[in-house]
Structure 1
Amino acid sequence: MKAKIIAITALVSASLSLNAQKLTYTPDLVLGHRSYTYMHNINYYFNDRIKLNNLTLFDTEYTKDKENIFFIRNTLAYNLTKKFSVNVAFGMKNPGAFFSAYVQYRIAKPTYSLSYSIGTTYQKGFSLEQSVSLEYMPYLKENIQGYFSVLAIGNLDNSGYPRGLQFVRLGIKQDKMMYGIASNFDQFNNGKKTLENIGAFVKYNF
């Protein structure tokens, strides 16, 4: 697992030096009471309308390795307007491969951003998937901002609520770096199985 993270980081760093204006890389590392979590967003902008995104997450327990979580999604997005986009995605997550198609509404301002997505995901059957992402960064001093973010994703199908997650971050933003307290909550199989991870996080916008 650590080797994969190092390889991904090295590859992204090399790519950044080659095409910094078209490529963005945002890693997020959490050291929690149950596990450590590595997550990143990589965006490649072909032009003002077309974007390729890679979202990767590995959640690994310190010793037992019984409740590891992985999520890898590659998304092609086409902006219909400045706020609306259509997206198709494929990837891997517990317990296997999946395919998604969804629409997204997004507002981005200097001190906050908000996005809402709704669509369908196929993984051993179709489900309705919705996600909400909020970031709020009020200025506390000239070079220091507060940082609050919430990411919530939920899937609904004929069986009920097969999968959901909520990630919360609260801390400080200084230039491109954010750090503070993190809480990750995961639900599986209609809430019959739940996982929590609470600790410290650091995030950086390359």
Structure 2
Amino acid sequence: MIPILPYRTPEILKSTSLISYICMDNHISKVMVITDFTVHQLGILNRMCEHLDHHSISYVIYDKTVANPTSDNVEEAKNLYLSSNCQALIGFGGGSSMDCVKAVGTRLARPKKPLSKMEGILKIWKKLPLLICVLAIARTGSETTFAAVIVDSKTRHKYAINDFNLIPDYAVLDPKPTLSLPPFITACTGMDALTHAIEAYIGNSTT
């Protein structure tokens, strides 16, 4: 890492139950949860939502995130965030949900700048709403990085947005959500994470 650049690491939380306290400390009464349909239908969100309910923190769930999140996903979620008067973002699931929630934060931080204009490095320059990423499946570290990968819904062009403001404020590494996964998803996501780890070890790239 280059010392003069504003690298930082998210604060690590060991349980989704702590999210409620983070919201209360920041005077947040309503959050948006961005996830995918499978994670939502499996009930993996339930434990976190029960804690939010217990502390009277309202939430709205966007669960239409696809495997490679699109610009349409981002715009739908952003509009729901604004119409619901949310104050913070929670990404819950795997890498796709993390990419989507970061891109939504990008559009909220720069509402007059199209997402496609932020492709590349250091195009945001503004702080996102409070961003919490909850890892719910074995993945590859998206909950801690400064990148979001999006597919343009019209052109199908896939591109990355890279900015230090995309680094989440909090990363939740709670093993309990992963224990609720079906064996097939556990196996697939575990192999995906292992493959990425092997590639990082044997690859010549500095990334």
TM-score normalised by the chain length of structure 2: 0.25
Q: Which has the higher helix share?
A: 2
Return the structure number with greater relative CO, CA threshold 8 A, min gap 6: 2
Higher-Rg structure is 1
